């Protein structure tokens, strides 16, 4: 027997001893008339979840849910897949007291946001209620505002140029083993400079390593399994991290402390300079112009260690892959790049329709956050389907953006093909597009992230001829939508 089989056997025994004692749910009466993926007796879909992961289980649920909804039982927990656009919008519009990202931390839950809280503490992700409106609006003004992003443009451009030039240094060509590493480091450096005045934020690889660890743990089933066992046997206080999670959390705190030291050094050396963004966020949410940050700003320093830079990096990587596969579309984009002043914010931000279409198409075909979920806290009824469906507390509602974005029903027979032209002149309202979420909890920084991805992509394309080594890159659905293997690229500096 392999170690993984031993682990599975041990977990199975513990689950039999522990989880079976939870109140059982008669799946035949849970959602009458809704297709069910039955799985195994008692365990339901749990073996599929543990063996293949949540994305694979979602795929099976989507396959049987012809009317846009289906469900599975996971050891007494009900997991519902909503993959009809109207249902997805309805769930997104539910207030936090009805449906939140975490649910009750005192009961067993498979929400990745539940794991995320233990790893990084409180953040914008898990805050609920009307008190979150002001911090969200502050963040939107800072990152989803054209004037604010224009002020950041020179910083983005400089860091993009520095990181692009570093690919070959003084040479003219280079073989890059994994362009995602470079793209992620650009984004990490950008966030470091923008927030703290620390353009060396990426050096040493500590931030990237921590980020990868957090993302992996948040998306894997095992942390939730072990935590639920510990919670059942009262080996851990509900909501508090385990010993290993607390150790990782200390690593996060150490990096944040270093960034705050960089910020204070920058402020001391530049007393008349404009405030760095983290200080602006702090002041806008009750903090002073020096000293400790506000609660909201402090929470964001933890969240930013993994949130934000992967969306930029993966957007660039998938763009390079698709443009290399479609040279006629790359040529069309290059013609547009050569026809404008890419060093001018207005032209790059709003005078490049084909670039915008390419970025939109990448976000459709390869959404970095390919799915999200809500935990039902209060009984409610879904009314947007063919028949009303009652949802009860504890149910996990998964919403697959990737399915909506690649469904031939909504996007036509070429739904799985990179066709930027579909976004020229707008799209039909019946075509669902939710790369940045939907409703009152959509992404509060997507315009900044999109601008950064556009700048770095254009800088790379205008500096180099890029040739992706392989054309067999496939999507890996974990917490984020990644590639199944490194993306090797040959870069040749343009004359």
Report whether 284 contacts 278 (CB < 8 A): no
Q: What is each CA distance from 190 to 125, 175, 185, 196, 377, in whole angstroms?
A: 22, 24, 8, 10, 38
Alpha carbon 461 to chain centroid distance?
25
What average pLDDT does the segment 21-34 reach? Answer: 62
Taking 90 as the threshold, does the pLDDT of residue 319 lie above it? yes
Q: What is the pLDDT of residues 463-475, one digit of tens each?
A: 999 999 999 999 9
Q: Residue 458: inside a domain, yes or no?
A: yes
Domain that holds residue 429: 131-370+403-493
Q: What is each CA distance from 59 to 52, 245, 256, in whole angstroms?
A: 11, 30, 38
Residue in the block written with tokens 């224009």: 150
Q: Residue 312: inside a domain, yes or no?
A: yes
Q: What is the pLDDT of residues 388-424, one digit of tens each?
A: 999 999 999 999 999 999 999 999 999 999 999 999 9
User: DSSP string covering 420-453, please?
Assistant: GGGGTT---TTS---BTB-GGGS-SSHHHHHHHH
Q: Across the beta sheet with 173-176, what order do the strands follow?
A: 173-176, 489-493, 464-468
Q: How many CA atoms lie within 13 A of 176 on its CB side?
A: 28
Would you state the pLDDT for residue 29? 67
DSSP state of 34: S
Taking 50 as the threshold, does the pLDDT of residue 105 lie above it? yes
Q: Residue 53: inside a domain, yes or no?
A: no
Taking 50 as the threshold, does the pLDDT of residue 41 lie above it? yes
What span, in angstroms and rounded, lies between the C-alpha atoms of 116 and 200? 26
Q: Residue 248: inside a domain, yes or no?
A: yes
Q: What is the pLDDT of residues 357-386, one digit of tens each?
A: 999 999 999 999 999 999 999 999 999 999
Give the count of domains, the chain.
1
Pick the closest to residue 191 from 117, 318, 300, 317 (CA basis): 300
Burial class (CB in 10 A: 0-12, 13-18, 19+), 283: middle
- pTM of the predicted structure, to 2 decimals: 0.92
Report whether 175 contacts 488 (CB < 8 A): yes
Q: Residue 60: inside a domain, yes or no?
A: no
Would you state the pLDDT for residue 220? 84
Q: What is the pLDDT of residues 73-97, one digit of tens each?
A: 987 789 999 999 999 999 999 998 8
Q: What is the pLDDT of residues 331-355, one digit of tens each?
A: 999 999 999 999 999 999 999 999 9
| H helical segments located in 173-308 | 179-196, 206-219, 221-232, 243-269, 277-284, 295-303
Percentage of the chain beyond pLDDT 90 is 71
What span, in angstroms and rounded, lies between the C-alpha atoms of 434 and 85? 10
What span, in angstroms and rounded, lies between the C-alpha atoms of 145 and 96? 26
Q: What is the pLDDT of residues 204-250, one digit of tens each?
A: 999 999 999 999 998 888 888 888 888 888 888 888 899 999 999 99
Across-strand partners of 82?
69, 399
Q: Residue 89: inside a domain, yes or no?
A: no
What is the dihedral sign for C-alpha 183, 367, 476, 218? positive
Q: What is the CATH number of the domain that holds 321?
A: 1.10.630.10
Find all residues with CB under 8 Å of 262, minimum gap 6, and list them. 192, 196, 197, 198
Q: Residue 465: inside a domain, yes or no?
A: yes
Interhelix angle 309-325/206-219, rounded to 10 degrees, is 90
Taking 50 as the threshold, does the pLDDT of residue 10 lie above it? no
Torsion of CA 156, 150, 301, 399, to 10 degrees: -100
Q: Residue 108: inside a domain, yes or no?
A: no
What span, in angstroms and rounded, lies between the C-alpha atoms of 468 and 471? 7
Is residue 443 marked as binding? yes
């Amino acid at each position: 027997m392999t170690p993984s089989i031993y682990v599975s056997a041990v977990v199975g025994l513990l689950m039999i001893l522990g989880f079976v004692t939870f109140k059982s749910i008669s799946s035949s009466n849970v959602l009458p008339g809704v297709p069910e993926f039955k799985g195994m007796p008692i365990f339901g879909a749990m073996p599929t979840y543990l063996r293949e992961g949540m994305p694979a289980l979602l795929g099976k649920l989507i396959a049987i849910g012809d009317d846009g909804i289906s469900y599975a039982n996971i050891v007494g927990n009900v997991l519902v897949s909503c993959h009809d656009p109207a249902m997805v919008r309805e769930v997104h519009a539910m207030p936090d007291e009805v449906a939140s990202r975490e649910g009750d931390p005192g009961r067993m839950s498979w929400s990745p946001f539940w794991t995320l809280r233990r790893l990084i503490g409180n953040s914008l992700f898990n805050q609920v209620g009307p008190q979150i409106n002001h911090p969200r609006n502050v963040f939107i003004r800072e990152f989803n505002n054209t004037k604010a992003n224009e002020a950041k443009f020179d910083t983005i451009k400089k860091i993009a140029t520095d990181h692009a030039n570093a690919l070959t240094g003084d040479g003219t060509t280079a073989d890059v083993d994994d362009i995602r590493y470079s793209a992620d480091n650009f984004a990490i450096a950008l966030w470091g400079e923008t927030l703290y005045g620390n353009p060396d934020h990426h050096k040493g690889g500590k931030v990237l390593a921590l980020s990868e660890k957090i993302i992996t743990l948040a998306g894997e089933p095992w942390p939730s399994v072990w935590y639920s066992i510990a919670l059942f046997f009262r080996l851990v206080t509900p909501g508090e991290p385990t010993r290993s999670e607390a150790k990782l959390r200390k690593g996060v705190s150490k990096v944040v402390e270093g960034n705050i030291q960089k910020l204070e050094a920058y402020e001391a050396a530049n007393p008349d300079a404009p405030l760095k963004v983290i200080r602006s966020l702090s002041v806008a949410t009750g903090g002073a112009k020096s000293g400790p940050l506000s609660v909201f700003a402090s929470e964001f320093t933890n969240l930013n260690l993994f949130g934000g830079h992967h969306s930029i990096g993966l957007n660039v990587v998938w763009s390079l892959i698709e443009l290399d596969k479609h040279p006629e579309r790359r040529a069309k984009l290059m013609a547009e790049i050569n026809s404008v002043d890419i060093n001018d914010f207005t032209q790059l931000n709003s005078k490049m329709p084909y670039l915008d279409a390419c970025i939109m198409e990448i976000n459709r075909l390869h959404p970095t956050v390919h799915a999200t979920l809500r935990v039902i806290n209060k009984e409610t009824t879904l009314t947007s389907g063919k028949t009303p469906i009652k949802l009860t507390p504890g149910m996990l509602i998964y919403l697959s953006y990737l399915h909506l974005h690649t469904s031939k029903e909504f996007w036509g027979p070429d739904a799985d093909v990179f066709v930027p032209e579909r976004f020229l002149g707008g799209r039909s309202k019946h075509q669902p597009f939710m790369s940045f979420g939907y409703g009152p909890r959509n992404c509060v920084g997507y315009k900044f992230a999109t601008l950064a991805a556009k700048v770095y992509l254009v800088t790379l394309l205008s500096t180099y001829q890029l040739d992706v080594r392989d054309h067999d890159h496939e999507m890996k659905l974990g917490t984020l939508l990644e590639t199944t293997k490194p993306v090797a690229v040959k870069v040749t500096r343009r004359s």
